[in-house]
Structure 1
Amino acid sequence: MELPPLTMEQLSQLVASNAPPSQLFEALSRYELQACLIATGSNGLTAGADDSTLLSMFYSSFFLVHLLTDQVSEARALTKRIPEALLQYDPSLQNCLTLLRAVWQTQHAQVYQVLRGLPWPDALQPLIRRYESFFQDKTLIAVSRSYEAIRLATAAVHLGLDEQLAEKEDPNVILNFTKCGWAWDSESKLLYPKPIVVSPTEPQSSNGIRKAMAMLGTRAC
C-alpha cells in the first residue's frame, strides 16, 4: 500500500489515535525518509514556517513514541538525525531534549515537571498524556520490585504525586498506596511495596496496573 504524503493532518490523526505504541512507531518510522527529504529540500528552518512546523511535529511525535515504546537509547540516536537548526531552535524539540535528559538520568520529579510544566503544542498532548501514564506504570512496577521498604514521600516523587501531602502522611495518600496492595507501617513510617508481576505476553499498561494507577490519584496532583 502506497504511503500517504507526510502532512500535518496525517500526523495529527496518527497522534490522536488509540493505536498501540508499536503501531505508531511503525507508522512514523515509514515517514522518516519523507521527513528527511523535506528537511534536505528546504534547508530546515530557512525555507518557510509550514515545513518547519511539519518537521517539528513529526520529529517531536517520533521522539515521544520512541519513549512510549521504551526505546530510550534509540530516542537518543534519533536526536542525532534531526536537522541541527531545527533541534537547536524549535521549542518542542528543545522540550524533547530536556525530557530525554531527565529520563536518561532517571530524574523522576524532573520527568513529571517537563511533561506537565513545559509548553507543549496541543497537537502533541495525546502523546504527552500517554507517555506520562506509561512512565508512571513503568515506575510503579520498578518501585514495587526494587524496594522492600520506601518512604512515603519518596514513593510519591517517583510516581508524580503530591510530595508535600506525603510528607504530612496524608491519609488519602497512604490509602492510595495501600489500595495497590502495599503495606503502611505507622511506627517506622515506611511503605512496604507489593511486587507487581506483568505477563510478558501482555502490554505493560495492563488493566490491572491501569486500575492501580487510577487509585494513585489524578495525574495533575
Structure 2
Amino acid sequence: MDLSPIQNAVASGSYATIADACDELMLQVASRGIAYQEDWPFTVHLLGHIFANDLNSARFLWKSIPQGLKESKPELVAAWRIGQCLWTRDYAGVYDAIRGFEWSPEVAGLITAFSENYTKKMFQLLSSAYSTIGVADVAHFLGMSEDEATNYALQHGWTLDSSSKMLTVKKPKIITEQKLDPSKLQRLTEYVFHLEH
C-alpha cells in the first residue's frame, strides 16, 4: 500500500488535505478487496478529520477501527479524546487532551497546527459573542493561564480593567457588502441602451 500521498501531505504541512487523501486511499484499498492493515495511519486519518472540523467523519472512522487496534495504539485513543471533547464542546478539555499526551514526531506538527487554529477560532467566537468578559473565562476558553490569556487578548487589541479583571473586547470590523438596487440597474441598462441607439 502506497501511503506517500498521506506522508507528503503531513511532511509539507498540508494538513487540510490529509482527511481527503486518507479517505481516497482507503476507498482505493477497499475497492481492491484489501482489508485494513495495522500499518494504516489511523491516527493521522482521525486527526485529519478533526483538523478539517469534520467531526461526523471522525466519529464514523473511530467506530470503524477494529477494537484491537484501539487498545494497542494509545496515540490513536489520545487523538480520539480530542474529538470527544470537540463533540461535547468541552473547550478546556480539548487543550487538556492535546497537552495530556506525548505526541509522536509524525503527528506533532499536525497537533500544533490544530491547536493554533482552534485557539484562533475560539478567540474569534469570544470576540463576536462578548463585549466584556472575565479574564478567568477567557483563560478557560483558550486553554491558557490567566496571564497568558490576558497577554493574548491585549495583543489583539482588547483592553483590561485590572481592578475587576474584566477584558473589553475589540469587536472585529464587519465588512458589509453593497447590495445592488434593482432599480439602479434598470436605469443603468436603459441609459446604456439609449447611448447605443
Q: TM-score, normalised by structure 1?
A: 0.68
User: 1:135 deviation in Å?
Assistant: 0.8
1:75 corresponds, among 52, 55, 58, to 58
| Superposed structure 1 runs of 4+ greater than 6 Å apart | none
Tell me the number of residue pairs that the alignment of Structure 1 and Structure 2 aligns: 175
Checking the alignment, whether the CA contact within 8 Å between 1:141 and 1:195 is kept in structure 2 is: no
Looking at structure 2, the residues matched to 84 and 198 of structure 1 have their Cα atoms a distance apart, in angstroms, of 48
- Corresponding residue for residue 109 of structure 2: 126
Larger radius of gyration: 2
What secondary structure, in the 3-state scheme, does the structure 1 residue paired with 2:92 have?
helix
* CA contact 2:19–2:48 (8 Å) conserved in 1: yes
**1:155 counterpart = 2:157:** no
- Structure 1 residue 20: Cα displacement: 5.6
Please say if 1:24 is aligned against 2:18: yes
Structure 1 112/34 Cα, relative in aligned 2: closer, same or farther at 3 Å? same
Q: Distance in 2 between matches of 1:197 and 1:105?
A: 30
How do 1:1-221 and structure 2 match up within 5 A?
5-7=1-3, 11-19=6-14, 21=16, 23-34=17-28, 36=30, 41=35, 51-52=37-38, 54-55=39-40, 57=41, 59-162=42-145, 166=146, 170=147, 174-196=150-172
**Alpha-carbon separation, structure 2, partners of 1:158 and 1:79:** 26
Gaps of 5+ in 1: 45-50, 200-221
- Does the residue aligned with 1:97 lie in a helix, a strand or coil? helix
Report the Cα distance in structure 1 between the residues aligned to 2:64 and 2:124, rounded to whole angstroms: 32
Partner AA of 1:6 in structure 2: D
| Higher RCO (CA-CA < 8 Å; seq separation 6+) | 1
For 2:149 and 2:15, locate their aligned partners in 1 and report how far apart those are by CA, in whole Å.
31
Unaligned runs of 5+ in 2: 176-197
How far residue 91 of structure 1 moved from its aligned partner, in angstroms, is 1.0
Query: C-alpha deviations, 1:178-208, integer Å up to 9, x for none?
Result: 2212122234321122233698xxxxxxxxx
Q: Distance in 2 between matches of 1:161 and 1:69?
A: 23
